[in-house]
Amino acid sequence: MNTTTETRVALVTGGSAGLGLALCTALAERGWDVITDGRSAEKFKEADLPAGVTAVVGDLTDADHRSALVAEVEQRGRLDLLVHNASTLGPLPMRPLEEVDIPDLMHVWRTNIGGPLVLTSALLPRLRDADGVLLSLSSDAAVEHYETWGLYGASKAALDHVTLTYGAETGLRAYAVDPGDMRTAMHQDAFPGEDISDRPLASTVVPRLLALLDARPESGRYRAADIGEDVR
């Protein structure tokens, strides 16, 4: 282990692709010691993560996997940033609420809410010690209502609520950020067969997130498109 307690440490879930991968790479380039996770070792092999990023393969809904993530943080002795990026759309193709069953609900809820909530609570002592930041990636579906997006949107609304409540209860800076549409595999899953080449790459959102982390404005819900030099 080359890191020291002076090196800032981040845990970013879902770092094998898309926005998670882009954010892990950018943080590592800034000198952060980054821990990330994902369910597929093959995807991490394809991702070719840069030095400074440690990948832990597993599912966030699994208690042993969450314990492994906490152990990685404890090994470093600090945590400055926890990013809840990993999530699921639920059953594909996306379907109306009247077609959603309890297993669908449990799968989405455990992935998008249960895992992040339990992991946050386990890591709160380290976040508090470092005056760290809690950041959850949200969606416009958390506040808008689109056909077939109900289950996913409700889970993102709940994640927003949980994230900002942690901020209120702990005094930590806590942000729920809607990154906007991105050209990612997850977005393609939501729109099968549609040409999404006009959507911006996930990497274009990263400077907005870094600006937010640098500025550390009041806790709240933000749209990435609105974050810039005017963040206070």
- State whether residue 84 is helix, strand or coil: strand
Confidence bin at 133 (pLDDT 50/70/90): very high
Residue 190 carries which side chain, given as an amino acid letter?
A: A
**CA nearest to 185, candidates 48, 14, 57:** 14
For residues 35 and 203, the answer to whether their CB atoms sit within 8 Å is no
At 154 the pLDDT is: 97
Please report the sign of the dihedral spanned by the C-alpha atoms of residue 48, residue 194, residue 223, residue 220: negative
Sheet of strand 33-38, all strands in order from the earlier edge strand to the far edge: 53-57, 33-38, 9-13, 81-84, 133-137, 173-178, 220-223
Residue 136, strand partner residues: 84, 176
> Is the pTM higher than 0.75?
yes
Here the tokens at position 67 are 């314990």
Confidence bin at 112 (pLDDT 50/70/90): very high
What CATH number has the domain spanning 9-226?
Answer: 3.40.50.720
Q: What are the boundaries of each domain within the chain?
A: 9-226
191 Rama sector, left if φ>0, alpha if ψ -120 to 50, beta otherwise: beta
Size of the chain in residues = 232
**CA nearest to 118, candidates 158, 162, 76:** 162
At 232 the pLDDT is: 46
Least confident of 85-89, 148-152, 195-199: 195-199
Confidence bin at 5 (pLDDT 50/70/90): low
Mean pLDDT computed over 192-218: 92
